Structure 1
Amino acid sequence: MAPVRRLRAAVWSFLFYLVHGHISLVLAEEAESCEYLRLGQYVCNEPKIDEATQEPENCKDMIAWVDCLPAPSVRCRLANGSEFQFSGEEVGFNKSISCRNVSGYSYKVAVALSLFLGWLGADRFYLGYPALGLLKFCTVGFCGIGSLVDFMLIAMQMVGPSDGSDYIVDYYGARLSRLSITNETYRKTQLST
């Protein structure tokens, strides 16, 4: 009786491994979505930059999209569900990149006005703060100290246009991004030596 049980267990084990191996092969042949390709399996095009705004041309709601091309011989599933093997020339998917909301205020102009005509309040008038511009004009730039502080705030991009938009800064220019620490910020403990 024991040899029959062993034979039956061996047959069931063989069938299980055979079926399991076949399922694994079927799943391995199914291509994953092109959006989940790993770095090195695709390259994304540079965005086309608008000359007037110095931001990507298709920037809306602080997001722009660029075309990504999977590498040659990569097989993946397109957004419509069909599988495709790429030659390196076809667009496989689009990837989002961040962009800035600009409305026509130039960083270079704001800094120049603050440096040369800040004592008259021209920088604040330009940025859309007429009350502060009038105050600086009437007090001759808060006796010079206010103009210096204002120049530093504008140069460090701490003071921006009154409509909440960002300055127009060259795409590869001196853009500043603020870093902040919140409750979700991870702090790595430092090991004392």
Structure 2
Amino acid sequence: MAALAGVRALRRLCGVALFLSQLYVLSGRAGSLMTTKHSQPQSTFAKSLTSTSTNTPYFKVAESTEIPSYVTKCPSNGLCSRLPPDCMTCNTNYSCIYGKLATFDCKVKPHVHCVDQNNQEQENFTINMTCQFCWQLATTDYVCTNSTNCMTVSCPRQRYNATCTVRDHIHCLGNRVFPKMLYCNWTGGYKWSTALALSITLGGFGADRFYLGQWREGLGKLFSFGGLGIWTLIDVLLIGVGYVGPADGSLYI
């Protein structure tokens, strides 16, 4: 009887152990299912974040507010036909007759405001100008650079390559900045009247030659007392007609 009771107790113990093991397995599956259900929306949310972060954000490019330099030359609310050439863009008509008046269709540049004869703002207008290239203009219509390294009293008279720019109010065809060969015309600040006065009064001491920067000739006149008056008379004549000039080769002012 004791052995039979022991066998029954052992069976019960095994049954309890089997029940506990099955319960443990079932609880593990339920936990995995719950983990999967909760992790799925998180992964979806993570994917959505990832996909969004890979897209390049769109930023609207701000328009430039910088005012062009030519605007300072353009009077505001003036007549369009009287604007400087830098304030407009014109359709060039190269078929016009040289030296004759021609009409050109023009349009104001950005940031430029002008009006017509009726004080109404406009963008498109016409201008009348003489048909000629910029380098064919009169010398009073452009400004050129000066050279200080050429001789103005040489024979033949030297030329130099100058850069010329058309004045703001002048209209012409082609480039408004152009090169041009000009005669040497620079001055070092020497006055013809001063040189002549020194030659007449103190020419015997070489003052006129010293003033013009010709110190060798000045020393010669000084130590020879003006060649006993002969050099003085000759220099008065030469300076008077402009044959003797500054030693640096510049012109009198």
TM bucket normalised to smaller? 0.3 to 0.5
Determine which structure has more spread, i.e. the larger CA radius of gyration.
Answer: 2
Task: Tell me which of the two structures has the higher relative contact order, counting C-alpha pairs closer than 8 angstroms and 6 or more residues apart.
Answer: 1
The TM-score with structure 2 as length reference comes to 0.36
Could you say which structure has the higher helix fraction?
2
